[in-house]
Structure formats: C-alpha cells, structure tokens
Amino acid sequence: MATNDLCSPLYGMTDAQLQAALAAAQQAYIDLRTGDKAVTVAYAQGDGSRSVTFQTTNLAAVRMFIRDLQAALNPGVKMCKRRRMVPLF
C-alpha cells in the first residue's frame, strides 16, 4: 500500500487504484479548465423534453484531491504549496 496514514480516506487502496484515481482526477481537472464538461443539457424530442444535469465541481477541490493522491503515492515526498504573499515596503 502506498499510504501509511491511517486517517487518510485513501488508506487501503493499492498503488494501481491510486494511479487510476489520479489519472481520472487529472483528466477531470483538464476537462473543467477547458470547459469540456457540461453542467446542464436539455433537449426536446417528439415524445417530450429531457434534461441531464451533472454535478458542478470547483477547481480548488479537484486540485486538493490531486495533491492528496500524489501525497499518498509518494509518502516521503513533500508536496509544494504556494507561499503566502507578503507585501514589501
């Protein structure tokens, strides 16, 4: 198993499962950034109208999930986080 953190929701997943989840999360991030994911689609046919609604996801949540997956796959590597901005006078 890749992660040793018992508190992690990813604990117990194999490396292959984590890699698959990471690939799916990265693809979802790309789709959201490029606008390829539809939120609501509606159309009318002869027998009535139909609509499909997808759940909206924010980019920050997907980025945090990707970071968690990367941390689980590489437990010894510290993930880079942005430093806070400090004004210089």
End-to-end CA distance of the chain: 49
Q: Is residue 67 part of a domain?
A: yes
Count how many domains the chain has: 1
Residue 31 domain boundaries: 15-73
85 in any annotated domain:
no
pTM beyond cutoff 0.85:
no
Distance in angstroms (rounded) separating the CA atoms of residues 8 and 1: 12
Measure the CA angle with vertex 19, ends 16 and 23; round to 5°: 140
Q: Has residue 19 been placed in a domain?
A: yes
CA distance 59 to 51: 24
Asked, for residue 6, whether it belongs to a domain, the answer is no
How do the pLDDT tens digits run along the chain, 89 residues long? 566 777 777 788 888 888 888 888 888 888 877 777 766 777 776 677 777 776 667 778 888 888 888 888 877 666 556 667 777 77
* pLDDT of 79: 56
Say if CB 44 and CB 36 are below 8 A apart: no
